[in-house]
Chains A and B, each alone.
Chain A
Amino acid sequence: PSSSSKGPDYVYFDRSVAAFSEDAILKAKAAQLKLANYYKIAVDSAIERNTRRVELERKLAADTTSSDDRKARQLAQLGRKESAFLRLRRTKLGLDDFRTVKVIGKGAFGEVRLVQKADTGKIYAMKTLMKSEMLKKDQLAHVRAERDVLAESNSPWVVQLFYSFQDTSYLYLIMEFLPGGDLMTMLIRYDTFSEDVTRFYMAECVLAIEAVHKLGFIHRDIKPDNILIDKDGHIKLSDFGLSTGFHKQHDSNYYSRLLDTTNGVSPASNPGRNSVMVNAIHLTMTSKDEIATWKANRRKLAYSTVGTPDYIAPEIFLMQGYGNECDWWSLGAIMFECLVGYPPFCSNSTHETYKKILEWQNYLVIPDDVHLSHESEDMIRRLICGQDQRFNVDQIKNHSFFYGVDWETLRQIDAPFIPNLRSVTDTSNFPTDELESVPDQPAGADTSGANKDLAFLGYTFKRFTTSGSGF
């Protein structure tokens, strides 16, 4: 190499990381990635900020009816929003920034509370997840990655996540509060829905699941407890990013072990033998007693760490690989429950349910005393069926069960049940009396405010403005 072409100051430097610790090498790599990411975001947000300003300026310029004063105020308002957003980037959050109004729900890894942010007075739902309960440690990183993408979604079908932070024991998610409760509570209250009401909820679920799939996710755990109801009676799916892939009950090894402990033999590996048992279990399933027990325990099941496999597609247990069609199976099971009053494979024990799901051909039975229209039954059978035969989203939308549904305007029409709310903190749609023993603050949480975590800002500015309820 000639120094003339490179200039007099050109220097060769022999690079080698041999003298450094593994730790330093990793840190250096991480620092480079973080900085590259930082500048990428810095440039992107400068462009986005600029676009927002230009859009508003253009809109105001075209507006001939507003006074100049009013226009100036609108521009100042945009500046304040942008400034508040910059402030959010420096904001650290801790549990002591929120006041618990009431415990409103319980899930496998923690509780859900209705909370009020101390400085703004705004209302949110706060979900706590106990880290030690989240089985494998590397799942936390997985959760984080999924949550990042989730938080980017601005879909009306997905519960909005505003913030998350953590302390040594818990991960906290601050979400929008959906005052209408969930579909499980509705089903407990109403037992069954008419076909029209079912059509409404199923159609909304179709669009919600489609939205989730378009984001690149498979929910895998759609069940009535995860279908939340907003103040207008429309549905949203609760934070599926967290339910994906790490819950104990989804661990296929866990299921195989469960199965091995039942009759010693896996039905999947010995289908011949299981067909013999069909009648016995079939009888049990239609027995009123079993259904009554299942119903009585419905909520307890939701609270347990093992959870209910009632809505999970068979291919998930079988470790044969699956795609997003597994979510359509779950929808079929929920539809069955809406019309019949209990899910198709419910039993007194998890392993029974599990076995019935694997042999769905023998156990999917519409009870004689329930009358379903031909379309409803057919829809259910197109969803609860083998992976290859299952309908895809377009086929579902065009099925005669959904005849007359306007898919474009569904969310704008009046919902069949509109929650009757007395205030923004009305919790009458939640089983709060069952949760009275749950403490206001999660046990062992850091309430000192000493070790606050930088709030995770996974949402875009759009989310911040359109929601109108950013901090």
Chain B
Amino acid sequence: PPSPTPGSKALYLCSPFAEAALVKGNFKTIVMLPKYVDMTEWVAVNIFDFYTNLNLFYGVLTECCTSQSCPTMSAGPQLDYTWIDQNRRQIKLAAPTYIDYVMTWVQNLLDDDLVFPTKAGREFPPNFPSTTKHIYRQLLRVFAHIYHAHYHQLLHFRSEPHFNSLFAHFLAFGREYGLLEVKDVRGTATSPVGVGDLWEKWKDMGILEG
């Protein structure tokens, strides 16, 4: 697929696409912790839903996201994410491989009753907060790659209002519960994350409040 020409503004930052939204108004209603509800349970079900919904859209793009089209897990002109292997080595992977690793890893965690308990009476493990931060970070990378490399394909499908709202909800929720680090959204000065600018833009527009 044609990547955005260097120098020109990314499509997802342009009008009318950056403003396109399925969910209008403030995310507060669906992000805020419902009174008296257990916060861990609330975070768990939301992560479950973000994963499911992101998977849904990545499923649309699998024929576009191949090791030929995306030999690296790109998320900006100067940014390729690396995967840390079992020996703690950073390795470059083709985007579909990387995303497959992420999604499989998250799915396994969600299916593990010791990590995401579903049985009545079973508690969340003590390291649950750090696990969820890890998951969030990796899901953010999948969003970042789709925005960077596949946004024009989402435009062909007219899916940008949907995908934008999913991502905006993901960002709003992540900030509210401390699951998302600003540095992960922005990246570094030398290799910025493409969607970091979108985040700024949405913040300015006031759609992430809540």
As a 0/1 sequence over residues 60 to 104 of chain A, the CB contacts with chain B under 8 angstroms (1 = contact) are 000000000000000110111011101101111000000000000
Contact sample, A vs B, 21 pairs, CB 8 Å cutoff: A6-B15, A9-B15, A20-B156, A24-B64, A28-B159, A31-B159, A32-B158, A34-B56, A35-B53, A36-B22, A43-B29, A49-B37, A79-B36, A83-B37, A86-B38, A86-B45, A87-B44, A87-B117, A90-B110, A91-B118, A92-B118
A15 at interface (Cβ–Cβ under 8 A)? yes
- How many residue pairs between the two chains, A and B, have CB atoms under 8 Å in the bound complex? 128
B7 at interface (Cβ–Cβ under 8 A)? no
**Beta-carbon nearest neighbor of A35 in chain B:** B162
Interface residue ranges of B67-81 to A (CB < 8 Å): none
Given A35-B162, A39-B22, A39-B165: A75 and B63 interface contact (C-beta under 8 Å) = no
Q: Are A7 and B15 in contact (CB under 8 A)?
A: yes
Q: Bound complex: CA of A186 vs CA of B41, how far in Å?
A: 46
Q: Are B120 and A38 in contact (CB under 8 A)?
A: no
As a 0/1 sequence over residues 1 to 32 of chain A, the CB contacts with chain B under 8 angstroms (1 = contact) are 00000110111010111011101110110111
Residues of A within 8 A of B42 (CB): 83, 86
Residues of chain A having any CB pair with chain B under 8 Å: 6-7, 9-11, 13, 15-17, 19-21, 23-25, 27-28, 30-32, 34-36, 38-39, 42-43, 46, 49-50, 53, 75-76, 78-80, 82-84, 86-87, 89-92, 119-120, 471
Q: Bound complex: CA of A149 vs CA of B65, how far in Å?
A: 38
Q: Are B36 and A53 in contact (CB under 8 A)?
A: yes
Q: Bound complex: CA of A6 vs CA of B34, how far in Å?
A: 39
Q: Is the interface of A mostly helix, strand, loop or mixed?
A: helix
Given contacts A10-B16, A32-B157, A91-B118, 19 further A-B contacts (CB under 8 A): A6-B16, A10-B14, A11-B17, A13-B152, A15-B156, A24-B60, A24-B62, A24-B157, A28-B157, A32-B159, A46-B30, A50-B34, A53-B35, A53-B36, A78-B36, A79-B35, A82-B34, A90-B110, A92-B118
Given A24-B60, A83-B38: A35 and B22 interface contact (C-beta under 8 Å) = yes
Pick the contact of B118 from A24, A49, A53, A87 — CB < 8 Å? A87
B11 at interface (Cβ–Cβ under 8 A)? yes
As a 0/1 sequence over residues 145 to 158 of chain B, the CB contacts with chain A under 8 angstroms (1 = contact) are 00000001101111
Sorting the interface of chain B by its residue count into under 10, 10 to 19, 20 to 34 or 35 or more gives 35 or more
Residues of B within 8 A of A31 (CB): 56-57, 59-60, 159, 162
B183 at interface (Cβ–Cβ under 8 A)? no
Interface residue ranges of B133-189 to A (CB < 8 Å): 152-153, 155-159, 162, 165-166
Interface residue ranges of B108-134 to A (CB < 8 Å): 110-111, 116-121
B9 at interface (Cβ–Cβ under 8 A)? yes
Q: Are A15 and B155 in contact (CB under 8 A)?
A: yes
**Beta-carbon nearest neighbor of B46 in chain A:** A86
Q: Bound complex: CA of A91 vs CA of B166, how far in Å?
A: 23
Q: Are B34 and A120 in contact (CB under 8 A)?
A: no
**Beta-carbon nearest neighbor of A34 in chain B:** B56
Residues of A within 8 A of B120 (CB): 84, 119-120, 471
B91 at interface (Cβ–Cβ under 8 A)? no
Q: Are B162 and A11 in contact (CB under 8 A)?
A: no
Pick the contact of B49 from A38, A76, A92 — CB < 8 Å? A38
Residues of B within 8 A of A20 (CB): 63-64, 153, 156-157
Q: Are B45 and A25 in contact (CB under 8 A)?
A: no
Q: Are B36 and A75 in contact (CB under 8 A)?
A: yes
Given A9-B9, A15-B155, A119-B119: A82 and B36 interface contact (C-beta under 8 Å) = yes
Residues of A within 8 A of B102 (CB): none
Residues of B within 8 A of A35 (CB): 22, 53, 56-57, 162, 165-166
Closest 3 CB pairs of A and B: A79-B36, A28-B157, A83-B38
Q: Bound complex: CA of A28 vs CA of B63, how far in Å?
A: 12
